[in-house]
Structure 1
Amino acid sequence: MQKRHLYLFLLILGTAFWGISFTFVKVGVGNGSPFVFLFYKFVIATACLAAVFFNQLKYITKNTLKISVLIGVPLLAGTILQTIGLKYTTVSNSAFITGLDVLLIPILKFLVYKKKVESKIWVACFLALLGLYIIVVKDGLSLNVGDLWIIACAFGFAFYVLQVGKFSNEKNPMPAVILLMLFCAVGCLIFAQFDSNAIWFPKTDGFWSGVLFAAIPATAYMYAVQNAGQRHLGEEKVALTYLFEPVFATIAGIFILNEKFTKEIFFGGLLIVSAMCIAEINFKKVLKK
């Protein structure tokens, strides 16, 4: 099996962990502090990666630290915004709206790096916005506050993927990933100091199981595979694997939290997933075949 095919499979498996983690995070955070939950998540992820890739720690340099900060800022922002949003909206809404980062990536590449945006991207954006409208707009033009947080988080994750792509040629990516997790942990620790709901040993049901699932398979595993795999796949291919995340998240939300799967979620989600597919398919190659 070629490396790119192996990493593609590993990334899809990671998106399953990501999707299921939406449910664990929503239950774990409850009415408590999202910063405490995320602090534990990133600390455990850091410890796991440092233990597994202990021999890589000797390659940490000042440049590694710089890269981890540049990648860590958008990741920290996206993760915090998403976790806050999950407190106020459903798992399905959160997953599908977060999926908009797939469309934001090429658009931000155009705005930030002045790279041309294909016409299919604008078609995809129209479909995605229509799907978003169907899912989240209720009672006229009002938006659920949680949905607004999630829309903001999609921008954070899009910038994160772009930053990873910018530094994907690094010979040893794991030291930067370990420092990236540590940077996010420190960031959450700082934010938690200003959160009146911060309880360091909460008794919320599902808190610790949620932290462990979010930390190990959904964070340590996924971000390690993503940062290593992006050297072989590129930003767009990595983004394509994100198509599976809202599907897994919705299934988990239905079976674990008994969330309702409404016709609005179905049709809106279908439009968003279709938009993602349109954005990622190389129509020239398809037509040639």
Structure 2
Amino acid sequence: MRFLYALILLGVTAVWGWTFVVVQDAISVYGVMPFLAARFLLAACALIPFTLRRITRRTLVAGAGVGLVLAMGYLFQTLGLLYTTPTNSGLITGMFVVFAPLSDRLLFGVRIPRPVLVAVVLSFAGMVLLAGGNPDGVNFGDLLTLICAAALGLQIALLSRYAAGHDSLGFASVETSVMALLFAAVWVLSGDVSFPPRSVWMALIVTGLLASAAAFWAQTFVQQRLPAARAAVILTMEPVFAALFGYWLAGDRLDAVQIAGAVLILSALFVGEMLPFFSRRRTKKGLPSDPV
């Protein structure tokens, strides 16, 4: 079953990789805070009707705390897209693979299994090559996105620790509602409230319903069943998908060094997920598993 959970989470990363291009186009028309508020209000409205009876006081407290951390990640990621490319944003966001197990270790003392540790090292090396191949160098948007990566890494660790025992759909609904209320409040206080133009509605539907409501539920469901470090390894596929969609939709191009980085990330997925999967199957069949 863990292999199936990994595939679900991989699908989530593909959707998120696609949205880097979608979001950059939308905020250039509508602005960062209006877009974030409209996106998460739409996501919250989609989830709340199905989750009101599933939300307990305990879920409300835990989900709100994790939602605040997630809101910080999305805020810095979206602001960063004003100053950097979708490909750059996706690649740097992938640095959460380093921050997630570090947060898990520092906050909760969780030991990192050897295959996952190797996968984290490979992923980090892939991130370095992917970002190092960028001819534009580090800019302000890259730095904002690095803060996003730290927040997302912390969110992954918190989700693996506190989502267990909660209804996954209810937990995702609380996370989304907290972000919606926070961004909407800032939007109203900024005095720049306006109805979304027709040109951004498709982006709002894709990011609000698919990349937020559905994806947060899937992520919470999976991370109730997978440890933070292993989930972080799977989620490193997000920058690969971001680079692919950046190439296809935004005209971004990868050089040989960046392609090598993408290959390292794919190898990290194999080491962190496929090898343990086949090892467990060998054990169930009564065959000696390879030492790890």
Under TM normalisation by the shorter chain, which class is it? 0.7 to 0.9
* Pairing 1:49–2:44 present: no
The count of corresponding residues between Structure 1 and Structure 2 is 279
> Is the aligned partner of 1:232 residue 2:225?
yes
Q: CA deviation at 1:32?
A: 4.0
Gap change, CA 1:137 and 1:156, over 3 Å in 2? farther
Q: Which stretches of structure 1, 4 residues or longer, exceed 6 Å deviation after superposition?
A: 275-283
1:87 aligns with 82
Counterpart residue type for residue 244 of structure 1: M
Give the % identical residues. Answer: 25
Say which of 101, 104, 109 aligns to 1:109: 104
CA apart distance, 1:253: 1.3
Secondary structure of the residue that 2:163 maps to in structure 1? coil
Contact 2:187 2:193 in 1 (8 A): no
Q: Are 1:215 and 2:218 an aligned pair? A: no
2:202 pairs with 1:191: no
CA distance in 2, matches of 1:122, 1:181: 28
Q: C-alpha offsets along residues 220-240 of structure 1, whole Å, 9 cap, x if unaligned?
A: 111101111112222223222
**Which residue matches 1:148?**
143
Kindly indicate whether residue 194 of structure 2 is the aligned counterpart of residue 200 of structure 1.
yes
Q: Does 1:288 align with 2:286?
A: no
**Alpha-carbon displacement from aligned partner over 1:50-71 (angstroms, at most 9, x marks no partner):** 24x2xx4223222222111111
Q: Do residues 242 (structure 1) and 235 (structure 2) align? A: yes
State the shift of 1:288 in Å.
3.1
TM-fit CA distance, 1:12: 1.5
Structure 2: where are the runs of 5+ without partners? Answer: 280-288
* Structure 1 residue 181 corresponds to structure 2 residue 184: no
Alignment of 1:27-66 (within 5 A): 27-30=25-28, 32-51=30-49, 53=50, 56-66=51-61
Counterparts of 1:137 and 1:275, CA distance in 2: 25
CA distance, structure 2, for counterparts of residue 185 and residue 249 of structure 1: 24
Q: What TM-score does the superposition give when structure 2 sets the normalisation length?
A: 0.82
CA-to-partner distance for each residue in 1:232-286, whole Å, 9 max, x for gaps?
2222232222132122211211221222333453345555666676677879x68
Please say which of residues 20-29 and 257-266 is displaced more in the overlay: 257-266
The structure-2 alpha-carbon separation of the partners of 1:173 and 1:129, relative to structure 1 and needing over 3 Å to count, comes to closer
User: What TM-score does the superposition give when structure 1 sets the normalisation length?
Assistant: 0.83
Corresponding residue for residue 14 of structure 1: 12
Query: 1:97, 1:150 within 8 Å by CA — same for their partners in 2?
Result: yes
Gaps of 5+ in 1: none
Q: Distance in 1 between matches of 2:120 and 2:238?
A: 22
1:256 aligned partner: 249
Q: After superposition, what is the alpha-carbon deviation per residue over 1:161-197, rounded to whole angstroms, capped at 9, x for unaligned?
A: 111111132242322211211100011112224547x
Matches of residues 120-135 of structure 1 in structure 2 within 5 Å? 120=118, 123-124=121-122, 127=125, 130-131=128-129, 134-135=132-133
The aligned residue for residue 284 of structure 2 is none
**Match among 166, 169, 173 for residue 164 of structure 2:** 169
Q: Once structures 1 and 2 are overlaid, which stretch shifts more, 254-263 or 64-73?
A: 254-263
Relative to structure 1, is the Cα distance of residues 122 and 16 closer, same or farther in structure 2, using a 3 angstrom cutoff?
closer
1:12 maps to a residue whose letter is L
Q: CA deviation at 1:153?
A: 0.2
